[in-house]
Structure 1
Amino acid sequence: MKHYTLSSLLALTLLVGCSSSDEIVPDVPPSELYSEAQLSLRSGNWLTAIGQLEALDSRYPFGAYSEQVQLDLIYAYYKNDDLALGLATIERFTRLNPTHDKLDWVIYMRGLTHMAQDRNFMHDIFNVDRSDRDPEPVKSAFADFKRLLQRYPDSLYANDAKIRMHALKNRLADYDLATADFYLRREAWIAAINRSQELQKTYPNTEAARKSLKIQLEAYKQLGLEDSVARTEELIKLNK
């Protein structure tokens, strides 16, 4: 079994990140190029598909395949982790096609793309829990799925969006818990209490909300607030 050092993994990451779809794409009729791009997509050859689709998009921006090419690019960019390009293409498509019949899918893909931005390659490899990392992409994804459910409640993607929103809610609650714990460790008692109570109010039915009660309890003890300690201990008993 091969063993990889951190430096070799980083080098591999950089090599993959520098890969480009800028290889020469033959100047063939659009129908032929589109068929080749579909074959690349079906085989999971994302870089080749992206090169072919980008060529179609630049050579025939108003052609018969223009809308479908953009939709295919959104998917290929997502699968290839070209997330910034995916979001830019989603924005462009939405602006140019505000009433498109696949707009529910586009909103769904925007949610998936924002979710993917919350991933971290090195964290995935080493199974590191980083609940304290910036949750802004998670908030964006939650808003995307919420928008999908509001605008297209009968969409094929509505049920999956609900499931993902539940997971995202837990992710945001974990971030608030990590923040409350940070304040506790820094002996910022009032800040720890405030963040714990905000978490309990915003995400009441989460494991993080229950865990935050212990942080709140410790902070109250440090402040010598006996009545608040007693109330929090009672809450902990009720939420076991």
Structure 2
Amino acid sequence: MLKSLSSLSRLALAGLCLALVAGCSSTAGKVDPTAGWSAERLYSQARADMGSNNWSEARKHLEALEARYPFGVYAQQSLIDQAYINWKDEEPEQAKAAIDRFMQQYPNHPGTDYMLYLKGMITFTPPSAVLSNITRQDPSERDPKGLRESYEAFNELIKRYPDSRYTPDARKRAAWLVNTIAENEVHIAQYYYERGAYVAAANRAQTVVTDFEGAPIAEKALYLMMISYEKLALPELAADAKRVLDRNFPDSKYYQQGLHAPLNYWNPINWF
């Protein structure tokens, strides 16, 4: 009797072991169905996923490719595509991380110009910008950090790869960014002025005049300098700012309207 029970115990234990092995195999299959795939197969599947805008699946296959086959052409292309996928999937931090890894590992790669262009695009149109169509928020009123990062990337592309096919578009975007960053500086200067920080307002406005030569917003910056110096009882500096303003912007509109543009009542956002 005891011998029979011992035999049954051994059979039960063996069955349990087999069940655990089978369960582990099943779990492993669910976690990683691409086990054993070649670099070429992983990349091919990732491209197919990209073609159908299945960004999450494409990302998984490319990350697996980079982890398993860190050297070679497919690994290089994997980083390029990861940056693109994360940008399209509105994951800017992951996209920038992929670009930074690429630039560190392959500083002289032929695709560097594209990666610089993509780096500029990532912060040129952040996801939050979509709401500006509804709120009518001026891009210059947003946090300028992303705008500056975008400008720096485009500017590096322009300097390092003047003949790149991406450079003409980068030049247009960089010009827009210069104006937008200058406008942001004027917004800050006006903020200081309206709170009585006239020295800070004058200094900020002067930065726009000196660092962003030719930007249209320089007109408002000069006006801000003039009225800030008037508040500080510095007539000579105020007169200098007025002279430059009159020479560059005769009959400036700011003499009539002041710092605030007339309200557009046809804009629904102003109905509330």
- Scaled by the length of structure 1, the TM-score of the pair is 0.80
Matched, 1:216 2:201: no
Secondary structure, in 3 states, of the residue corresponding to 2:140?
coil
Describe the superposition over 1:112-151 as per-residue Cα deviations: whole angstroms up to 9, x where unpaired: 2233459555555533236344322322222222222222
- Scaled by the length of structure 2, the TM-score of the pair is 0.71
Residue 203 of structure 2: aligned partner: 194
Letter in 2 for 1:162: R
- 1:46: Cα distance to partner? 2.0
* Aligned equivalent of 2:75, options 46, 66, 74: 66
Residue 161 of structure 2: aligned partner: 152
Secondary structure, in 3 states, of the residue corresponding to 2:242?
helix
Q: Which consecutive unaligned segments of at least 5 residues does structure 2 have?
A: 1-29, 250-272
Describe the superposition over 1:48-91 as per-residue Cα deviations: whole angstroms up to 9, x where unpaired: 32122223223333365211111111111111121111111111
Residue 173 of structure 2: aligned partner: 164
CA distance in 2, matches of 1:115, 1:25: 36
Higher alpha-carbon Rg: 2
Letter in 1 for 2:187: A
- Tell whether the 8 Å contact from 2:151 to 2:174 is kept in structure 1 after alignment: yes
- 1:30: Cα distance to partner? 3.8
Between 1 and 2, higher relative CO (CA 8 Å, sep ≥ 6) is seen in: 1
- Tell whether the 8 Å contact from 1:118 to 1:135 is kept in structure 2 after alignment: no
- 1:29: Cα distance to partner? 4.4
Matched-pair identity in %: 32
* Aligned equivalent of 2:152, options 140, 143, 157: 143
- 1:205: Cα distance to partner? 0.9
The aligned runs of 1:58-207 (5 Å cut-off) are 58-62=67-71, 65-117=74-126, 119-120=128-129, 122-123=131-132, 125-129=134-138, 131-207=140-216
Matched, 1:55 2:84: no
Structure 1 stretch displaced more, 133-142 or 170-179: 133-142
CA distance in 2, matches of 1:44, 1:160: 25
Secondary structure, in 3 states, of the residue corresponding to 1:178?
helix
The verdict on how the C-alpha distance between 1:166 and 1:64 changes in structure 2, with shifts beyond 3 A counting, is: closer
Letter in 1 for 2:169: D
Secondary structure, in 3 states, of the residue corresponding to 2:217?
helix
Letter in 2 for 1:78: W
- Tell whether the 8 Å contact from 2:90 to 2:127 is kept in structure 1 after alignment: no
- Tell whether the 8 Å contact from 2:139 to 2:180 is kept in structure 1 after alignment: no
Q: Which consecutive unaligned segments of at least 5 residues does structure 1 have?
A: 1-22
CA distance in 2, matches of 1:43, 1:207: 44
